[in-house]
Amino acid sequence: MTTLDDQRIAALMQSASVPEPKVDVGRAVRDGRRRRQRRRVGGIAAVTVMAGLGVLGAAQLGGAASRPAPVPPALAASPQGTVTAAPPSPVTCEASWLPQPISGPVAVANAVDPTGRYIVGDIGTGQEDGRVVLWTDGRAGVLPATARHAAAVNAGGIVVGTNGDGTGWVYRDGKLRSLATPRGYQAVLVHAINGRGDIAGTARGAGDSHHAVLWSANRPQEYRLVGQPGSAATGITEDGTIVGTTDQLPYRWTPQGAGAALAVPDGYPRASVDSAHGDWAIGMVPGAQQGGSVQMLPVRWNLTTGAVSLLPFSGATGIAGNGDLLVGDGSPLVVAPDGTSRRLPGRSEVRATEAGTYTANGISDDGLTVVGAVYEKQVYRPLVWHCRR
């Protein structure tokens, strides 16, 4: 990444900013969360979970809009022949393989805890048989076979997820326990956990009914419904703030349960949020129709000021507590709030012809640990990037 690239990204991000919102700060997430990586690798469980539960998500946001969507900002191509002398990067990164305790052609690291110590992912064939793997300081362990489709891990190594039948679970201190399904609902979809063990997700019932839910890792059979019916929760921060959606609009709830909407970028009818960490959240808005489908555009919220920005990237897969944005497809990129950026390096033994097949799915709060996978020779291998300042 050259100095010129950094300047362009910074300029584009500034130009994409939306004016300060006219509503109170809200936080947003969407109810149909599972990484695009999971969908891309051939049905690693969350796809089936989402389809079976009928949860809200990008597909719902992508419904027909009443008017054409605004044109998003685009990254400018570097001029041919331009040569720039980039100063040494203040951050250096190195990619390392994660060990695979079991065999399988689809092995992907999907999430990392805020400290970068714990990493969670799946290994299998990509056909609903994936086993959950927890890496602790680089050492791999396999969760019980009845645990499927991990969603998140916290700084204490507690893992949460949702089985294909819509049962939520929590794995703590070597024990797997089910989360209670709220009365009147048929299934849940678990999304996030914070350092205190607060777990956020969504209950799903008949007739497309749904409600945001909060559980505790200490008391998994107890729960609290959040907001009103029609709400969905897809993230929770360390202070207990829950983010989600209400009536297809991004929303946040304080630890005491008070709710407020997040701003939506000008010209867009609605928005969803994928995740939130620290003072930041990322999500999507529905863009223009392309080939019969709706182009989903990434957005970022500053949860302190309430400002929302439409991002000049094809997608964003994570947000760090310090505001670093993770752009995860092809050749992963980390973009700081000021627009400066760095490319994550590949492994030297991966063939040059396969260099565009890296994906990055999760980032630690300091932005120095990133997890993902690389596809080569029809096999996905999990890896981690460790960075130093």
> What is the signed CA dihedral for 308, 266, 75, 292, rounded to 10 degrees?
120
Residue 350 DSSP SS3: coil
**Residue 14 located in a structural domain:** no
> What mean pLDDT is reported for the chain?
81
Longest dimension (CA), the chain: 64
pLDDT at 353: 52
Least confident of 93-97, 146-150, 216-220, 377-381: 377-381
**Residue 59 located in a structural domain:** yes
Total domains in the fold of the chain: 1
| SS3 labels along 12-28 | HHHHCECCCCCCCCCCE
Residue ranges making up the domain that contains 304: 23-73+94-321
**Residue 181 located in a structural domain:** yes
User: CATH number for the domain including 300?
Assistant: 2.130.10
Q: What is the pLDDT of residues 130-140, one digit of tens each?
A: 999 999 999 99
pLDDT of residue 318 exceeding 70, the answer is yes
Q: How far is CA 241 from CA 17, 298, 306, in A?
A: 24, 22, 14
**Residue 46 located in a structural domain:** yes
pLDDT confidence bin for 100, thresholds 50/70/90? very high
Mean pLDDT value of segment 78-91:
44
**Residue 1 located in a structural domain:** no
Work out the angle at residue 188's Cα, subtended by the Cα atoms of residues 186 and 193, and round it to the nearest 5 degrees: 160
**Residue 347 located in a structural domain:** no
The H-or-E segment that residue 49 falls in is helix 46-53
**Residue 352 located in a structural domain:** no
Find, among 254, 278, 234, 242, the residue nearest to 114 by Cα: 278
**Residue 111 located in a structural domain:** yes
